[in-house]
Amino acid sequence: MLGRVNHVAIAVPDLAAATESYRSMLGANVTEPQALPEHGVTVVFVTLPNTKVELLEPLGEASPIAAFLAKNPAGGMHHICYEVTDIVAARDRLKDAGARVLGDGMPKIGAHGKPVLFLHPKDFQGTLIELEEV
C-alpha cells in the first residue's frame, strides 16, 4: 500500500531561522514559505535528491502544532508522509484494520495540491503518519 517517503516534517518555532539554518549551514535548497490556513501551518520544503523535509511553523490561534511545540519548544520531528496511489482505498483499509484517521476522515488538500490524511500516532508507534495521494 505504501509508496515512497514523500517527506519528513519538523515542527519549528521560527520558520525564518530554520530556513536560514538549512540554507547557510546545510547548503540546502529551501522553497519560499507557503501559508496553509486550512491546516494551521506555514510550511517550506527542503528539497533533497531522494525526498523532502517539510519545516512547519504554527499559523493562527488553533494551530494543530501549537501543543507539540509547547512540549518541544526547540522544535522536533512531527510526522512522516508516505505516498499512496488511492487515498480513499487506503483510508478504508486502515479503518477496517482498526486504525484511527484524524479529523472527519475526509482527505484535505495538502501543501502539494494533493489529497492528504493523518493517522493517529497511538496506532503507529507514537509517530503521526500523513498519507498523500500521488
130 among known catalytic residues: yes
By CB under 5 A, the residues from 89 to 128 that bind Co ion are: none
48-67 binders of Co ion (CB under 5 A): 54
Residue 114 contacts residue 85 (beta carbons within 8 Å): no
B/e letters for 80-113, b = 16+ CB within 10 Å, e = fewer, are: bbbbbeebeebbeebeeeeeebeeeeebeebbbe
Among 19, 90, 128, 130, binds Co ion (CB under 5 A): 130
Nearer Cβ to Co ion (18/27): 18
Q: Which of 54, 130, 132, 133 is catalytic?
A: 130
Chosen residue from 18, 81, 90, 117 binding Co ion by CB under 5 A: 81
Element (H, E) at 6: strand 5-11
Asked whether position 12 contacts Co ion by CB under 5 A, the answer is: no
Contact 38, 64 (CB under 8 A): no
Residues that bind Co ion (CB under 5 A): 9, 54, 81, 130
Catalytic residues: 130
